């Protein structure tokens, strides 16, 4: 059974085992070079360390020439001067450390893997601000230099540059991203949609972007604490929906379950109801229980005993409640599987292989295509409780 890796950030890296499975069924994925934003400093659109933000662009071809997929990278958040100072010395805070990137899954240009989007223009925008492309402020770093919190300007400046590179004449467009990039997809969905004339089909596809404000096993609200810290430190405000801010504090309006209420563009939510990152890092993190008693369970849902499954099913119930508003939204879609995963669109193995979760006879790739191109009346799939779905073969 393929196992996706554990990782530090809220976005998986390829594990050897997974890579081996992928390579046995496909040629090596495309490596796409990094492009740095032009005039970044003048626009104040910079990474945490002041370096210009970067993105990868693979040009579309054939019938995909005027179709664009914009994919926002994820990788948690930084909510204190200390964590942002540390982040600044990684590729999640500085373009000096960024490299070319492999495109697979929804980003693949192989028609077998990605039959609906393979020939689109595809862009990955790298995540180097630590606030889901949404902050706008500056602060004093521990070393005395300036820490730049410019996520919102990065979003705006990179999108502006892409508009000049052909996005402005797109006939079809899709904004996606996973984890912190999935949350960013929700935060920027309305702005993305508003950039195009009415006749253009512009939609949003947040993957693993629904983070719940829950208590861990010891009663701590870790997600709230990280979001509250990030929102305050990085001055996240302009991006938040006005109708939410009229009733609620900013941190609450940063939650996906609030954001979905204010999004007007058609949106399909792809997420596991047992999101492995949230279960591992916010529901049952090390330290919230005695010793190592939960480690086997948080490593792999298949190891959870009945008491632990009750806790995980409580999480699932909150998750399903949190997205149920979508059921009544026309043009929206849901693909909520019960596999123990986090980020499923950007890996070929979970996107469309024989290991991809299947709901209503659809792989994720099929569900996203059917929804985007309106080939089926609705794609509103919510899986039954683990372990009822035999197609859940991946663990991540
Ligand atoms: C496309 O993907 C299929 C299925 O994984 C694989 O067999 C094929 O070799 C790939 N083609 C190319 C050109 O990479
Ligand atoms: C925070 O953002 C708001 C709205 O964009 C802006 O008016 C304000 O000046 C910013 N505050 C700081 C400290 O940067
Ligand atoms: C949110 O963060 C601010 C600033 O760090 C802090 O003063 C406040 O107590 C926090 N609020 C909650 C509810 O955690
Ligand atoms: C965790 O798994 C290992 C290996 O399967 C087993 O030896 C150990 O007893 C398990 N620990 C708990 C707390 O269930
Ligand atoms: C399940 O595991 C937890 C943590 O190790 C333990 O406290 C609990 O008693 C176990 N429950 C059952 C039914 O084995
Ligand atoms: C899935 O496909 C099979 C075979 O085509 C069909 O019998 C079944 O009714 C379908 N199930 C759903 C839920 O659409």
pLDDT (0 to 100) of residue 18: 53
pLDDT range class, residue 111, cuts 50, 70, 90: very high
Give the count of domains, the chain.
1
Q: Is the CB of 391 under 6 A from ligand 6?
A: no
Q: CB neighbours of 90 closer than 8 A, spacing ≥ 6?
A: 97
**Centroid of ligand 1 to alpha carbon of 237 (angstroms):** 44
Among the listed residues 129, 213, 342, 352, the single catalytic one is 342
Q: Would 3 be classed as within a structural domain?
A: no
The answer to whether 338 touches 232, Cβ cutoff 8 Å, is no
**Centroid of ligand 6 to alpha carbon of 361 (angstroms):** 6
**Centroid of ligand 5 to alpha carbon of 304 (angstroms):** 9
**Centroid of ligand 2 to alpha carbon of 179 (angstroms):** 26
Q: Would 76 be classed as within a structural domain?
A: yes
Which CATH number does the domain housing residue 189 bear? 3.40.50.1820
- Mean pLDDT, to the nearest integer, of 264-281? 98
Distance CA 180, CA 164 (A): 26
Q: Which ligand is nearest to the CA of 288?
A: 5
Neighbouring CB atoms inside 10 A of 374's CB total: 12
Is 281 labeled as catalytic in the residue annotation?
Answer: no
pLDDT digits (tens, 9 = 90+) for 17-51: 454 455 445 556 789 999 999 999 999 999 999 99
**Centroid of ligand 5 to alpha carbon of 292 (angstroms):** 12
For the record, the structure tokens of 169 come out as: 């004449």
Q: Would 1 be classed as within a structural domain?
A: no
Q: Which ligand is nearest to the CA of 236?
A: 2
Q: Would 330 be classed as within a structural domain?
A: yes
Is 275 labeled as catalytic in the residue annotation?
Answer: yes
Write b or e for each residue in 226-246: b if 16 or more Cβ atoms lie within 10 A of its Cβ, otherwise e: bbbbbbebbbbbebbbeebee
Among protein residues, the one whose CA lies closest to atom 5 of ligand 1? 26
pLDDT (0 to 100) of residue 353: 97
Is 348 labeled as catalytic in the residue annotation?
Answer: no
Q: Would 276 be classed as within a structural domain?
A: yes
Give the predicted TM-score (pTM) of the model: 0.94
pLDDT (0 to 100) of residue 19: 45
Distance CA 214, CA 224 (A): 8
Closest ligand 1 atom to residue 113 Cα is: 2
> Over 50: is that where the pLDDT of 70 sits?
yes
Q: Is the CB of 376 under 6 A from ligand 6?
A: no
Q: Ligand 2 site: residues with CB under 6 angstroms? A: 136-137, 235, 237-238
Among protein residues, the one whose CA lies closest to atom 7 of ligand 4? 296
Mean pLDDT across the chain, nearest whole number?
Answer: 94
For the record, the structure tokens of 12 come out as: 């998986």
> Over 90: is that where the pLDDT of 295 sits?
yes
Q: Would 396 be classed as within a structural domain?
A: no
- Mean pLDDT, to the nearest integer, of 124-150? 97
Q: Would 111 be classed as within a structural domain?
A: yes
pLDDT digits (tens, 9 = 90+) for 305-321: 999 999 999 999 999 99
pLDDT (0 to 100) of residue 27: 56
Distance CA 165, CA 240 (A): 28
Q: Which of 159, 56, 65, 68 is nearest to 102 (CA)?
A: 56
- Mean pLDDT, to the nearest integer, of 94-113? 98
pLDDT (0 to 100) of residue 30: 87
Tell me the percentage of the chain whose pLDDT exceeds 90.
91
Q: Is the CB of 360 under 6 A from ligand 6?
A: yes
Distance CA 28, CA 64 (A): 22
pLDDT digits (tens, 9 = 90+) for 208-255: 999 999 999 999 999 999 999 999 999 999 999 999 999 999 999 999
Closest ligand 3 atom to residue 251 Cα is: 1
> Over 70: is that where the pLDDT of 198 sits?
yes
Q: Would 359 be classed as within a structural domain?
A: yes
For residue 196, give its domain range: 13-382
Q: Which ligand is nearest to the CA of 306?
A: 5
């Amino acid at each position: 059974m393929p196992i996706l890796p554990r990782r530090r950030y809220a976005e998986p890296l390829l594990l050897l085992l997974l890579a081996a499975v992928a390579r046995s069924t496909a040629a090596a994925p495309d490596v796409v070079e990094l492009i740095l934003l032009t005039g970044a400093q003048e626009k104040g659109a910079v990474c945490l360390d002041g370096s210009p933000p970067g993105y990868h662009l693979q040009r579309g071809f054939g019938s995909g020439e005027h179709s664009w997929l914009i994919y926002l990278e994820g990788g948690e958040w930084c909510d204190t001067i200390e964590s942002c100072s540390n982040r600044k010395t990684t590729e999640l805070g500085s373009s000096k450390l960024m490299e070319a990137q492999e495109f697979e899954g929804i980003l693949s240009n192989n028609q077998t893997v990605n039959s609906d989007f393979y020939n689109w223009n595809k862009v990955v925008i790298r995540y180097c601000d630590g606030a889901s492309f949404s902050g706008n402020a500056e602060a004093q770093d521990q070393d005395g230099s300036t820490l730049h919190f410019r996520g919102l300007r990065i979003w705006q400046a990179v999108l502006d540059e892409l508009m000049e590179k052909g996005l402005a004449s797109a006939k079809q467009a899709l904004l996606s991203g996973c984890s912190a990039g999935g949350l960013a997809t929700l935060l920027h969905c309305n702005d993305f949609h508003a950039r195009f004339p009415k006749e253009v089909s512009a939609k949003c596809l947040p993957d693993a972007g629904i983070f719940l404000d829950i208590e861990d096993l010891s009663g701590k609200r870790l997600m709230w604490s990280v979001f509250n810290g990030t929102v305050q430190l990085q001055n996240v405000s302009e991006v938040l929906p006005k109708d939410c801010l009229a009733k609620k504090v900013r941190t609450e309006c940063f939650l996906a379950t609030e954001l979905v209420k204010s999004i007007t563009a058609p949106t399909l939510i792809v997420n596991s109801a047992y999101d492995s990152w949230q279960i591992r890092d916010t529901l049952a993190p090390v330290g919230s229980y005695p010793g190592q008693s939960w480690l086997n369970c948080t490593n792999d849902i298949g190891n959870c005993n009945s008491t632990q499954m009750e806790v995980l099913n409580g999480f699932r119930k909150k998750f399903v409640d949190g997205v149920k508003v979508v059921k009544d939204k026309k043009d929206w879609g849901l693909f909520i599987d019960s596999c123990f995963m986090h980020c499923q669109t950007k890996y070929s193995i979970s996107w469309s292989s024989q290991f991809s979760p299947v709901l209503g006879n659809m792989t994720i790739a099929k569900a996203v295509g059917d929804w985007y191109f309106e080939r089926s009346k609705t794609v509103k799939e919510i899986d039954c409780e683990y372990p009822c779905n035999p197609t859940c073969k991946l663990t991540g």
